[in-house]
Amino acid sequence: MKKITFPLKLRMQGPAIADLHAALQRFLDQRVILRSDDAARQKYSVALEWVQVRLAYDTNTHDLVSIFQEEQGLEASGVVDELTANVMNRWLDELEEAGEGKTLYTVKGTVRFFDGFPAGGIIVSAFDRDLRSEQVLGQSQTNRQGNYQIQYSESQFGRAEQRNADLVVKALAMDGSLLAASPILFNAPLTAEVNLIIPLEAAQLPTLFDRIQYMLKPLLSDLPVEELEEDEKHQDISFLFGETGFKKKDLARFALGHKLSQRERNLPPEFWFALLGSSIYEFPEGKSLAEQLATLLDVLPSLDVAAVRVALIHSFKHKEIADDFRQNVDNWIEMFLQFMPSKS
């Protein structure tokens, strides 16, 4: 593990922050900080997994550094100064030495949504279960294929006489709430495979819109969603279908939703995505997105208030768009009715 440099503080970004995140994660995993507070360690571990993507020194990083400083008898400034960096590096050296010769265990697997699609970008935590408590063994984040891998050592087991962990694996939402959990795997082997299915009923289940957005982001690179096309020159929808497995209709709805939102800024892509999930739209093979957009602009004015509301309710029920948008339904419908007569 790389050494911690200084100074590091709020709003900084870059590789040095990534090294700090890795060190803080190891301190959490090895109970160097928040030793007796399992809930707080889990909370900060989840927060670290998300912020590591941005390589940013955020408020959670600041808070964890402050906790480390306070527990080590340093000034709890939340800023990594020279003294804090030296203490952190000493701890990293000690953990490295203590880890030599220790047996490493691995749990790996795949997380999928209820419909079989890989659950990319999901936090996965492994726990050692005791009678009425559990200890965090490690955390990871699923890749685009929904795969994860977590390593842990026997020094992390809650009971000294225990030679193997009684393993539980959980998939967690961004806010730390539970999406899915495995049964207890008693006396887990050196390498265990634990797969999870996130049910439709999961409270914080990512929506279909968010899942498509997550999967498309690395594939689009710098190409705006609004510029996706399906014609003789560009077969973007076909390519994304082959790459992600999402239905062509859903991918086209996503692209057309952004194109329509570009025309009417007061209506977000999520509104159009939900509306195009109704019977008003089917993906027509052989027609470009430009042609489909023109057809939609002719057909959309035929929708009345009831039809729009039904389409939105269906989308909420099937978790296609976030439930938080329910409060916007009346305003969306009003904006839609205003937009249709002025379409161009």
Rounded to whole angstroms, the Cα distance separating 146 from 158 reads 29
Region label for 93, one of left (φ > 0), alpha (ψ between -120 and 50) or beta (otherwise): alpha
Grade residue 98 by pLDDT with cuts at 50, 70 and 90. Answer: low
Q: Does residue 178 carry a pLDDT above 80?
A: yes
Predicted local confidence at residue 103, as pLDDT: 66
Predicted confidence (pLDDT) at residue 105 exceeds the cutoff of 60 = yes
CATH 2.60.40.1120 holds for 104-198: yes
Higher pLDDT, 343 or 203: 203
Predicted confidence (pLDDT) per residue in 58-91, tens digit? 999 999 999 998 888 788 899 999 999 999 998 8
pLDDT of residue 157: 66
Reported pTM: 0.58
Domain ranges, ordered by start, for the chain = 15-99, 104-198, 208-342
Whether the pLDDT of residue 184 is over 90: the answer is yes
pLDDT of residue 275: 96
- pLDDT of 344: 41
Give pLDDT, residue 332.
95
Phi-psi region at 323: left, alpha or beta (left = phi > 0; alpha = psi -120 to 50): alpha
- Quote the percentage of the chain above a pLDDT of 90: 49
Pairing of strands 104-113, 196-198: parallel
| Residue 79 near residue 9 (C-beta atoms within 8 A) | yes
Does the pLDDT at position 108 exceed 60? yes
Contact, 259 vs 226, CB < 8 A? yes
For the record, the structure tokens of 158 come out as 């809650």
**pLDDT at residue 161 is higher than 70:** no
Asked whether 206 and 118 are in contact (CB, 8 A), the reply is: no
Read off the pLDDT band of 99 (50, 70, 90).
low
Judged against a pLDDT cut of 60, whether residue 96 lies above it is answered with yes
How far is it, in rounded angstroms, from Cα 78 to Cα 76?
6
- Name, in order, each residue with C-beta under 8 angstroms of 231's C-beta and a sequence gap of 6 or more: 288, 289, 290
CA-CA distance, 288 to 227, in Å (whole number)? 12
Question: Is pLDDT of 166 > 80?
Answer: yes
Neighbouring-strand partners of residue 17: none
User: What is the percent of the chain with per-residue pLDDT over 70, rounded to a whole number?
Assistant: 93
| H or E stretch covering 255 | helix 248-263
Query: pLDDT of 249-291, one tens digit each?
Result: 999 999 999 999 998 878 999 999 999 998 889 999 889 999 9
Mean pLDDT of 218-233: 91
**pLDDT at position 163:** 67
Amino acid symbol at 42: Q
Choose the weakest-confidence range: 55-64, 99-108, 163-172, 182-191.
99-108
pLDDT of the residue at 160:
47
